[in-house]
Structure 1
Amino acid sequence: MQLVRGLHNLRPQHRGCVATIGNFDGVHRGHQAILARLRERAAELDLPSCVVIFEPQPREFFAPDTAPPRLARLRDKVELLRAEGVDRVLCLSFNQRFSQLSATEFVETIVLDGLGVKHLEVGDDFRFGHDRSGDFDFLQRAGAAHGFTVEAAQTVEIDGLRVSSTKVRKALASADFDLAEQLLGRPFAISGRVLHGQKLARQLGTPTANVQLKRRRVPLSGVYLTSTLIDGQVWPGVANIGVRPTVAGDGSAHLEVHLLDFAGDLYGRRLTVVFHQKLRDEQRFASLEALKTAINADVAAARAHWHGQPLTKSLK
């Protein structure tokens, strides 16, 4: 799969494709249905498939402090799209200039001049252009005028529940990881590189891996039972994700993972942390000793949960 960053990096060979446009946050089962149809149409027309995404996502640009938390950072989103068999991803910088494009300019700049789209697959609620003035009907009229076809993807429902990124966030916020997995088509996980931290957890007797989040907000907060993928093996453990209120910090979210009975240096390595069950909310403790007691209780709960299972096991 090819990743193209920005319209300025498009070349003549990129023109002529079957495309879809959207945030694709989480690449959930609704997105997967759109991508499946995209692959089918691309095969029928013998053209490459292209997914157009934005960075930052539009709501993050307009209201960064209140935008929904990311389900997947850009790197993970690209990898998920790769796994869905997409040929090309065009990542557009969503900035002030881009936000001012009218619906007509959006179609001319991206769909026609940029990509030479022959068929466009979009979600049934897709809106675009300044003040969200463009919609499916607008695209159909533009397609009829300029020679490309447009198809609206059908809504995907699970047990009567419409699959959406919002529904996934709500499931995660309520710690319903079974529902989140149904909506995503896979367990919810966060990937990132291990950075050097304050090493406070090590001083408290429970060393943790400080996993880089690279996002303003996260969809989880609290202490969770987790499993972490390292070199093809899964290590059960416990993780805290939040602002660490007992310890003076920068107010941003951090992910700290303790792996049961793991010994080794993880600094600089990328980990994938899967969340299984919530143990408790994040809370402020009166002292570091009280925090240490709570952490020990969290580790004991993790051991009890994994009791009778091998602490390491290869992925099948």
Structure 2
Amino acid sequence: MRYLVTGGAGFIGGHLCERLIAQGHEVLALDDLSTGSFDNLQRLDGHERFEFRCASVLERRVVERCVRECQGVYHLASAVGVKLVVDQPVKTIETIVGGTEVVLNSCARYRRPVLLTSTSEVYGKSPKVPFAESDDCVMGPTTTRRWAYACAKALDEFHALAYWHQARLPVVIARLFNTVGPRQTGRYGMVIPRFVAQGLAGEPITVYGDGRQSRCFAHVKDVVGALCGLMDHPRARGEVFNIGNDQEVTILQLAERVRDLTGGRSEIRLIPYHEAYTVGFEDMMRRVPDLSKIRRLIGYRPTYDLDAILRDVIAEAQAAAPGSSTLSTS
């Protein structure tokens, strides 16, 4: 197969491209490098079954040509990170909604199966935990910018499922919970790479809010394996699936664990949300996936626990540090 991966130079996109190549496929990666990086594709540089094109998913003619040349599409291109979502709300909405419309329209024209990556953010402020795919989505007010991301991704899901119901376009929706691992940047607010960088530098590890909010972190290798499994399974079409890990940890506990694993020199400092983001910022106290649906279909079970994930991220950061004898390419 020849697959198109939009957002292919992103953190998850780069790992997915590697996975597909390892499975024997050809890959065409499309990315405008606004948040992605060539570093995420370093291992594929010069590979005979890999091609990269620098363009936006908003460029309709480019996307159409890419879709036409491939037999399946993984649509990962999106605005990423809470900080980017809060700081650039217009770009967030336009990239997510507009880009997905272009991709779905092209896939429908050429009858290409497409997997759309969505997010656990669509569950919003729902108090029901763990989150199952059929649960209600409880959004905050439109005056709070962070909900623009959740609502835009929910609209993407509605749009994709509309193509499935109306035109029988083969679509699969994957709701990703916190995905972490080597090559993830902390530039856009991702918590683990930020904590690790602070811990290794002996700087204060900055926890936003009171630290009692909890998350579940999945290794990117587990996640891309699940994405491939869903794309390959005919009974996944027209369905929504959670992908993540259901091992829950508070952000304060996470900070303490990172401190311990990076030498124990850092203090843990609490930063109010209004200082970290903006006045009126809202956060969810818990975000835990129900993984029973994807487990039943493809046997998905996370293979990395939190300590294994942290050790992986820390090892890469140490190897890439100035003065290291070995530069990491993982």
TM-score (norm 1): 0.34
TM-score, normalisation: structure 2: 0.33
Bigger helix fraction? 2
